[in-house]
Amino acid sequence: MGSVDRRDPEDSRDTIDRYPLLCLPAMNGLEPPIYCVNPNCAQPRNAIGRERCSECQTPLLYRYLWAVGEVAAAIPVGSMVAGRYYVQAPSVWLETEPARSPDVPPQLPDRSLPYLRLHRWARHVPQFYGLCLMGDQSPDTILLENAPLNDQGQPYPSINEAWGGARNLRRLHWLRQLLDLWPALAAEGVTASLLSLQNVRIQGGRLWLRELMADEADREGNFRRLGDLWFAWLTGWLPQVSTENDALLGVRLQDWCTQIRQGALNAVGAASLLDRLIQETQAQYDLTVAAAGLTDPGRQRSNNEDTCYPDTFSPLPPLGAIDPGVAIVCDGLGGRERGEVASQMAMQSLQLQAQALISEAITSGESIEAPIATEQIRAMLRVANNLIATQNDSQGREARQRMATTAALAIALPQPLRPPFVEQTTIARDLYIAHVGDCRAYWISMGGCIPLTVDDDLAGREAETGFRSYREALNQPNGSAIAQALGAKEADNLQPHVQRWIVDEDGLLLLCSDGFSDRGWVEQSWREYGLGIVTGTRSLNETLKAWVAAAIATNGSDNTTAVALLCRLSPLNVGIPDPWTAAPEAVALAPATWESEMSEASQALLQTTSRPPRSQRRRRSHPGLSKPQWIGLGAIALVILGAIALALTLRPSGDDRPDPNRTPSTPTRPTEPGKPAPSTTTEELPVPGP
C-alpha cells in the first residue's frame, strides 16, 4: 500500500529552513547511491534499485526505517537527512549506508527505553535503531527498524483498512494478539499505542505496531477506552456488511466491547471470552497438517549434533506413532561435549510428552484453555531440560563439559468441541510454538514471511534491561552467545517461550536450527521454496530437501536442520450457535493409537499415568496445572529416557561415524556477517527473564 503525502507544503519548507544542513534535496533531483555492505568492495556505490552490487555481486541491503515524530514527518520526500538517510515517503527513511553504525548516544533517551525493554515482542513492536541528531532546536528523531514496512519500504495497511477484506477468523486473530500485547505495553506505560487504529498495522495474520505512544495520566481507563474505540468502529462498520456471518460477528463483538466499556471485563476476562468465539469460528474450518523434516551435518562437519522430528529421509523408524501435528528441531550446542546426545534426548522426550498431551486432549473430550496449554508446554520443556541436567550431574559434568541443546517445538493441539458450544461435534486445532535458544520459527504464507521467535542471546537480555540497544549489544564480546539452553542448568533457571498462532489461512510453519537460518537465508529464500509449497506448485518433501541443500551451499559451516509443517484450512458448511452459552460436560472420544518401540512395562507405565481417571483430569474451570500430574510425567520421562540417554552416551550414533567425503572441523557456531563469534558457555549467564 503506497503512502499519500498530505503535509502542508509550508510545513516542509519550514522544516528545511530550520535544518538547512541536515535536510538537503538529492543532487539534481536524482536518487542517492546505496552502498555495498562488503567492506572489501572496491566500488561500493550502487544505484538504488539494484539487487546486487555491480562490483562484487554482494546482495545489497535495503533497510527501511520509520522516523518517529512530527519533525521527521514534515521533511520532504526526496531529501537526504544527515547525509545518509533518503526520505522515500513521509517518515519512511532508507539507510543508504547500511554497514555504518547508527548514531547512539551513551545515555539513551527515555523515549527509547520501552522499545528496548519490549525486545521480546519483536513480532509486534519495532526495534530501536538509533537517533538522527536534529540539533538544539528539536528533540532528536528516533529511528526504528523492524517497522511494519514491506521490502519496498511501503507501509502495511492499518487494521481498519484491512478489516473489510479479511475472514472472521483472521479478524479474531488480530484482536487476540492485541489482548496478548496489552499487559506488556501496560507495564511500559504505552497502551495508547493500541488506541490509534492507524498505528496498528497488519501483515497477513500479524498485528504490528508502527510506533509506541506514551500513556497519559489516566492509564487505568485505557482498557475501557479500547472498548469505546472498537465499539464505535464496529458501529460504523456493521451497516456496510454484506454477509450474515459478518453481521453476527459484529454484533457479538459489540457485546464484547460493551462489557469492556462497562468494566465487566479486564484484559484476562476479555481474552478468555474472545477465545471461546475463536474456537467456535475455528469449528467452521477443517485444518489439516502434514510435516516433513531433514537434518544434515553440513559441508564442514563429520558429526551432526542436530536432530529433528519428523526426520523424513532417515532410514531409521520413528520412536512411535506420533500425531502429524508435531514438529521438533533440536540443535546440540557446539563446543560442548556430547551435543548430539543432548539433542536426541530432548527430541525423544518432547516427542513422548507431545503425544501424551495430544492423546489426553482427544480422549478427554475437553478443550484446553490457552493459559493452561501454554504452561503445560513450558513444563514439557522443563522436563526435557531436567533429563539432560540430571544426566550431566550423574556423570559429574561441569561448565563446558555439560551437554546442552537449543530447541523449537510446534504442536497443533486438538481442541474437542461439542454441542451446544458448536452445532456438531468437531475437533479444532490450536497451533502452539515454543523455543529455547536460537532455533527459530517462521510462518510463511501469501501474506509474507513472519518471524515468530526471537533468539535467546545475551544481546537481547542486555537490551531488555534498557542498558543499550540490541544492535549495540550484539557487537559486544559474546553478544550473540546463547543465553539459555536445555540441560545447561536446572529447570528453575529456564524460561521457555511459548506462543499460540491461530491458523487463519493456508501456510507453512518452518522450524529450523541456526545453521539453516544464518545470514538471513530464510528471508532471502522463502519465496523460491516456501511459497511454492503453500501454493501447491511444489511438493513438501522434495522442496524441503532442495531448500536444505541450498542452505548448505550458501552457509554450510554448521549442521543444518529444517522441519516444515504445512497447514491447509478448508471451510466447512456448519452453523454458529450462541458463543456465550456455557460449555457442556465433556464426553470422552475414542483414544488415540499409541505404538512404540519401548518395552511393555514402559508402555504400561506411560498409559496408566498419562491418562488419569476423569476426576483427575483438567477442567475448563481449573485455575491452573495439576502439580502431581506433571511430577508424574517427569518421572515417567526420567525412567524411559534415562535408559535411552545412557545407551546414547555409551555408544556413538550413526552420525558419529566419520564421513570420508567431509572435512572434520571444531564444532562451533558460525559467525554471521557483522556478528561476533558466539560463545556457548552458559555457566556465567544471567537468570533468564520472562
- pLDDT, residue 26, reads 57
Burial code (b: 16+ CB inside 10 Å, e: under 16) for 556-577 equals bbbbbbbbbbbbbbeeeeeebe
**Nearest alpha carbon to residue 325 among 36, 564, 13, 596:** 564
Q: Which residues pair with 407 in a beta bridge?
A: 330, 436
Query: Phi/psi class of residue 135: alpha, beta or left (left: φ > 0; alpha: ψ in -120 to 50)?
Result: left
* Every domain of the chain and the residues it spans: 9-100, 159-282, 285-656
Partners of 507 in the β-ladder: 567
Alpha carbon 239 to its chain's center: 36
DSSP secondary structure code for residue 110 in this structure = G
Per DSSP, the three-state class of 422 is coil
Tell me if residue 243 falls in helix, strand or coil. Answer: coil
**Nearest CA-CA partner of 325 in 297, 296, 287, 278:** 287
What integer pLDDT is reported at residue 422 of this predicted model?
Answer: 73
Can you read off the three cell numbers belonging to residue 382?
522443563
Secondary structure (3-state) at 187: helix
The CATH architecture annotation of domain 159-282 reads Orthogonal Bundle (1.10)
What pLDDT is stored for residue 649 in this prediction?
41
- A 10 A CB-CB count for 268 gives 12
3-class DSSP state of 89: strand
What values do phi and psi take at 561, rounded to 5? -140, 140
Q: In degrees to the nearest 10, what's the CA dihedral of 319, 326, 118, 669?
A: 40
pLDDT tens for each residue of 266-320: 999 999 999 999 998 999 999 999 999 999 999 988 899 999 999 988 877 665 5
SS3 labels along 472-507: HHHCCCCCCCECCCECCCCHHHCCCEEEEECCCCCE
Other CB atoms within 10 A of residue 143 CB: 25
On the 0-12 / 13-18 / 19+ scale of CB atoms within 10 A, 106 is: exposed
CATH dotted code for 285-656:
3.60.40.10
Cα 643 from Cα 382, distance rounded (Å): 19
- Parts of the chain with a pLDDT under 50: 1-9, 12-13, 16, 20-21, 575-690
DSSP 627-690: HHHHHHHHHHHHHHHHHHHHHHHHS--GGGSPPTTS------PPPPTT-PPPP---TTPPPP--
- Print burial letters for 52-62: b (CB count within 10 Å at least 16), e (below 16): ebeeeebebeb
pLDDT value for 420: 74
Tell me the three cell numbers of residue 76. Answer: 520532504
Adjacent-strand bridge partners of 328? 309, 409
* Grid coordinates belonging to 310: 519428523
Q: Nearest 5°: phi and psi at 194?
A: -95, 0
Report DSSP letters for 612-640, one per residue: --GGGS--TT--S--HHHHHHHHHHHHHH
Residues 328, 394: contact at Cβ < 8 Å?
Answer: no
Helix segments in 146-243, DSSP class H: 159-163, 168-188, 222-237
Phi and psi dihedrals of 33, rounded to 5? Answer: -75, 160
Cell of 609: 499415568
Contact 509, 530 (CB under 8 A): no
Helices (H), ranges, 406-561: 458-464, 470-474, 514-517, 521-525, 530-535, 540-554
Radius of gyration for the alpha carbons in the chain, expressed in angstroms and rounded: 26
The CA distance from 157 to 148, in Å, is: 9
Helices 370-394 and 627-650, packing angle to 10 deg = 40
Pairing mode, strands 141-145 and 79-81: unpaired
- Is 59 strand, coil or helix? strand
Q: How many CB atoms lie within 10 A of CB 399?
A: 11
- 10 Å CB burial of residue 152 (0-12, 13-18, 19+) is exposed
**Do 159-282 and 285-656 come out as alike in CATH topology?**
no
The string of pLDDT tens digits covering residues 408-449 is: 999 999 999 887 767 778 889 999 999 999 999 999 999 999
